[in-house]
Amino acid sequence: MQSRLPILVFALVMAAIPFIPGMPPFWIVLLDNIGLSALVAMGLVLLTGVGGLTSFGQAAFVGFGAYTTALLTTAYGLSPWLTLPLSLLISGLLAVLLGLVTVRLSGHYLPLGTLAWGLGLFYLFSKLEFLGRNDGISAIPPLSIGSFKMLSPGSIYFAIWVAVTLSALLTMNLLDSRTGRAIRALRRGHVAAEAFGVHTPRAKLLVFIHAAVLAGLSGWLYAHLQRAVNPTPFGAQAGIEYLFIAVVGGAGYVWGGVLGAAIVVILKEVLQSYLPLIVPGSGQVETIVFGIMLVALLQLAPGGVWPWLMSFLPERSGGRKPDTSLKLEQRPRASGQSSILLQVEKARKQFGGVVAVNNVSFDVQAREIVALIGPNGAGKSTTFNLITGVLSATSGSISVLGRKVDRAPPQEIVKLGISRTFQHVKLVPDMTVLENVAIGAHLRGHSGPLSSMLRLDRADEAKLLAEAARQIERVGLAEQMHQLAGSLSLGQQRIVEIARALCVDPMLLLLDEPAAGLRHMEKQQLAKLLRDLRDGGMSVLLVEHDMGFVMNLADRIVVLDFGTKIAEGTPATIKTNPEVIKAYLGVAA
């Protein structure tokens, strides 16, 4: 994503196309349509392919963009250039409204919800008097610069493709940034991203708005290309088709949207013009063939065409190593009334009738490694979730430096300097190790989406990546920095999670079974790393099943069994505690 050369080449090629002698004007019309669809599909790539939010309702946003400019230019005589920001604004505002309702839905609710409001809005367009009902609005003025009016498809072509190229550039910039990493983490679920301070509903809303604004832009261009609007192109069928375009092209790739638009628009055109010659007779033969081809294509290439094409290109050697000399400011230390870092008092968690954690109390002091052990199902991971705010306790309290944090969400807990890893690794497999680790530093960066799009975030970004690279080197994975996280072994992925947690600049590190899947040597390195961290002033609370590892490392051990604390003490006393032996080995041991 670093190189801008392909985009430049693309822009030059697109700029040159209309000047090819003998270029049929009809092809230009097709290219116009491709550009309009590509804009919408690009938004869907971000929304669906990257963010994991499926929307069937994008056509409604196109409609809002188109109707806004149509109404304002015809009824109120505004200049089209004035209505551009208004079109985008209206689409964006609508996205905020609908997004607030829908983005919190997961899985299948979201696509169905979007389908429903897509349809509702379509009927609204066709029923509202001031939007001309089914006839729509006609006689929309063309775009013009000075006295030059963009009346022909060939003249508006440039406006469309400038919009496509700029949108692609901005979208790619956004993805390659602090905000972009948060967006790319969305598809893998909330818990991991929220543990590092990402406000996931806000990130979802952001992509929703981005996609809607791109759709609104497409609608604005459409209105001035056709110079008439009616409800038909903004219905459910169109919404479905946009999604189809994104999936065909490759839903995870910005250029997949453009490619998909080209494939679908050309395919439809070819079917419409040639099928009647082959199959004479009435009606919707092209729809039938289109539908069948769609299913066939999905069966043959479910990932889309763009990644399939890209697999033919020589693999690019890994990215540049960030300049690790750049320093990221330390996180401001939370100060409190108490010297006890973490205090858990009579924490209790019930799931229905099951008591997962039963009035457990313990604490963690500064510069201390505490291990939480116990048989499977003892409530260790649930305790972690209570501390980090993923779950809220049924009763009892948890305080950090003397301050109660009982109801605080994960994003607030991490701000206090408590970071964690997960028992089941939660990395984004199609992001590099460096990018995954940089999510850990999310709260230590400041750039927002707009500055990311405009590349004003580079200084901030370089510092974040430098910090991520430093932590990766610290845990000994420098070699793997530019590999995809999904390609690492499970043990290495656990270490990546530790690097990500370290990026928070924590005072307390919560590790859930960090040594699982590691080889003997790697465990020793991990133990050394954790001791170094403690000596550097950090505290560690870990859940671990490897007794040898725990006994050699921990300063103190808390033993849970069936959600209840049965023992606490130094490794030496725990080893001989009869209760503990009973819990692990049975009564007669």
Partner 1 sequence: MNTTIMLFLLQDGITNGAIYALLGLALVLVFAVTRVILIPQGEFVTYGALTYASLASGQMPGTAKLALAMGVTACAFDLFVARKALHGRLILRSVVANVVLPAIVLALTIYFAAQKPSVAVCIALSLVIVAMIGLYLYRIAFQPLAHTSVLVLLIASVGTHLALQGLGLLFFGAEGQRGPAVLSGAFTAGSLRFTGQSLTVYGITIAFIVGLWLFFGLTLYGKALRATAVNRLGARLAGIRTTLSGQIAFLLASVIGALSGIMIVPITTLYYDSGFLIGLKGFVAAIIGGLVSYPLTAAAALFVGIVEAFSSFYASNYKEVIVFMLLIPVLLLRSLAAPAVEEEKD
- Residues lying near partner 1 in the complex (CB under 8 A): 48, 52, 54, 98, 101-102, 104-109, 111-113, 115-117, 119-120, 123-124, 127, 187-191, 240, 243-244, 247, 251, 281-295, 298-299, 302, 390-391
Q: b or e along 272-303 (b: 16 or more beta carbons within 10 Å of the residue's beta carbon)? A: eeebeeeeeeeeebbeebbeeebeebeeeeee
Q: Which residues contact 518 (CB under 8 A, 6 or more apart)?
A: 491, 494, 495, 526
Considering the complex, state which of residue 188 and residue 199 has its C-beta at the smaller distance from partner 1: 188
Shortest separation between residue 222's beta carbon and partner 1, angstroms:
22
Residue identified by tokens 């209105």 is 223
Count of other CB atoms within 10 angstroms of residue 589: 9
State which H helix or E strand residue 403 sits in: strand 403-404
Considering the complex, state which of residue 200 and residue 480 has its C-beta at the smaller distance from partner 1: 200
- Could you write out the DSSP letters of every residue in 116-168? HHHHHHHHHHHH-GGGTGGG-EE-PPPEEETTEEE-SHHHHHHHHHHHHHHHH
Q: b or e along 63-86 (b: 16 or more beta carbons within 10 Å of the residue's beta carbon)? A: bbbbbbbbbbbbeeeeebeebbeb
Considering the complex, state which of residue 184 and residue 523 has its C-beta at the smaller distance from partner 1: 184
Considering the complex, state which of residue 54 and residue 83 has its C-beta at the smaller distance from partner 1: 54
Indicate the DSSP class of residue 516: T
Shortest separation between residue 248's beta carbon and partner 1, angstroms:
9
Residue identified by tokens 């009982």 is 406
Shortest separation between residue 287's beta carbon and partner 1, angstroms:
4
Residue 38 corresponds to which tokens in the numbers above? 């590509």
Count of other CB atoms within 10 angstroms of residue 440: 28
Phi, psi at 586, each rounded to 5°: 95, 175
Give me the amino acid identity at 224.
Answer: H
Considering the complex, state which of residue 299 and residue 376 has its C-beta at the smaller distance from partner 1: 299
Considering the complex, state which of residue 163 and residue 238 has its C-beta at the smaller distance from partner 1: 238
Closest CA to 494 of 550, 563, 436: 436
Shortest separation between residue 294's beta carbon and partner 1, angstroms:
3
The rounded distance, in Å, linking the Cα atoms of 520 and 51 is 38
Shortest separation between residue 454's beta carbon and partner 1, angstroms:
31
Shortest separation between residue 170's beta carbon and partner 1, angstroms:
25
Considering the complex, state which of residue 123 and residue 158 has its C-beta at the smaller distance from partner 1: 123
State which H helix or E strand residue 398 sits in: strand 395-400
Considering the complex, state which of residue 244 and residue 549 has its C-beta at the smaller distance from partner 1: 244
The rounded distance, in Å, linking the Cα atoms of 584 and 551 is 15
Considering the complex, state which of residue 461 and residue 513 has its C-beta at the smaller distance from partner 1: 513
Residue identified by tokens 């019309």 is 29
Cross-strand pairs, 561: 564
Considering the complex, state which of residue 75 and residue 112 has its C-beta at the smaller distance from partner 1: 112
Residue count of the chain: 589
